[in-house]
A and B are shown apart, each in its own frame.
Chain A
Amino acid sequence: MIEEGLKNELQKQGVYVTSLQELYNWGRANSVWPLTFGLACCAIEMMAASMARFDLARFGAEVFRPSPRQADLMIVAGTVTKKMAPLVVRLYNQMPEPKYVIAMGACAISGGPFKQGYNVLKGVDRYLPVDVAIPGCPPRPEALLHAIMTLQEKILNQKLTGPDRPRHLNADVAGEFPVPAYGKHDLEPPNNPEVWQPPAIQR
């Protein structure tokens, strides 16, 4: 391991030093391939973000893969209905590690305007570990670009070893998340307690 100060000093002299961890994270952060997957109007903004004007390709994330086998990132763009939620979780399970989730828009974060409805999930974070949440209804493509940059920052700061290494490098953490079943009025279970707990009010 090389010290930060020495590294900066060497950089000034024109000598660039890197570590395996940095190289690995640099490669992963600049080739995040999202899954071609849209649920509602947010997906239109996602398409706009990948086109010439906003150009998601600048961040290496323009390769939308039609199969979860080749995707790294799931952009949950739109309203997740209770009928669709098991399918979303199963798609996430079918993605190879390492994988990330961006919850795009008010509906994906919390259910949005449909939160009190009978068929809308109150946020995709009930079943999936969301890395970045974008507010907005729908968020502008710039907001999605910002989310991708935030995710890249997150990937760049991940550690290869140690107790706080990411999930995909930890053999003890399960790779799959339980797929909810259809119940009589709601999904069963209504949330995955490992990922999400009801908010507690602090007084």
Chain B
Amino acid sequence: METPEQIKSRLEAALPSAKIEIIANECPAGERSLLVDAPSAFAAAQFLRDDEQLRLDYCSNVTGVDWPDKELTEKVKVKQVVEGVEKEVEEVKKTVRPGFLEVVYHLYSMARKHGPVVLRCRTENRTDRTQLPSLTPLWRGAEFQEREVFDLYGVVFTGHPDLRRILMWDEFEGFPMRRDYVAPDDFEYEPTPHDEVLAEAKKHYPAEAKAEAKPEVKA
């Protein structure tokens, strides 16, 4: 199969307006993916499906990823005059990368027996501009999985034939798989709490936690 670079160059030749980026992967598998900008995502996906060499006719998986706002720290060397002497001082520059939602499609070819090609799409932000083009018209199997991504992450797929919640009930509010989702506090007493549950238990039963912290005196 073609490398992501080859696919990228052919995609750019076919769609001049598309902005395509290759995302590196540091894990041992090293599966690199193609990041396509939202306006040309549908056309790019159609190219991947119909291209004679690729023929990616099977969408095996649609995944949602939540990327919250991230603080990036960068060390910058700045020249400063300290006590009359010019010195190089390191300064920490902080920038905030705005968060976004991402949808990952894993594409395989049944006809050519190769794959996967990983296709990514990102929304503009996590609050109001969360629209992405639906790829259900291209791969019918993406329908329920896109519904699931909508249900749990809140990505709105434009052009989806039936965009409703699929796992949660219709009256549910919020998107439970987002990192900042706060479930209602319904903590209950646990006899053997540990890790996150232990922290919750200490919050709800402070006296109990104190009693446990005391060293037991045995005769």
Contact = CB atoms under 8 A, between A and B. Distances in A.
A118 interface: yes
Contacts of A184: 171-173
A193 B50 CA distance: 59
Interface in B138-169: 167-169
Interface in A51-94: 82-83
B208 to A, nearest CB: 6
Contacts of B211: 203
Interface in A105-144: 116, 118-119, 122
A182 B172 contact: yes
Q: B interface, by DSSP: helix, strand, loop or mixed?
A: loop
Contacts of B168: 83, 119
Chain B's interface size range is 20 to 34
Given A199-B189, A201-B205, A201-B208, A119 B167 contact: yes
Contact of B197 (A116, A198, A201): A116
Q: A interface, by DSSP: helix, strand, loop or mixed?
A: loop
A118 B183 CA distance: 6
A186 B207 CA distance: 28
Contacts of A182: 169-172
Contact of A118 (B176, B189, B196, B208): B176
A198 B188 contact: yes
Contacts of A201: 189, 205, 208
Nearest to B177: A118
A198 B172 CA distance: 24
A203 B208 CA distance: 9
A10 B189 CA distance: 53
Candidate in A83, A184, A185, A198 with the most chain B CB atoms within 10 angstroms: A185
A185 B172 contact: yes
A182 B183 CA distance: 15
B52 interface: no
Contacts of B181: 118
Interface in B164-219: 167-174, 176, 181, 183-184, 186, 188-189, 196-197, 205, 207-208, 211
B171 A186 contact: no
Given A116-B196, A182-B172, A184-B172, A190 B186 contact: yes
Nearest to A181: B171
Candidate in A118, A119, A183, A199 with the most chain B CB atoms within 10 angstroms: A118
B164 to A, nearest CB: 13
17 contacts: A83-B168, A83-B169, A122-B186, A122-B188, A182-B170, A182-B172, A184-B171, A184-B172, A185-B172, A185-B174, A185-B183, A190-B186, A198-B189, A199-B189, A201-B189, A201-B205, A201-B208
Interface of B: 167-174, 176, 181, 183-184, 186, 188-189, 196-197, 205, 207-208, 211
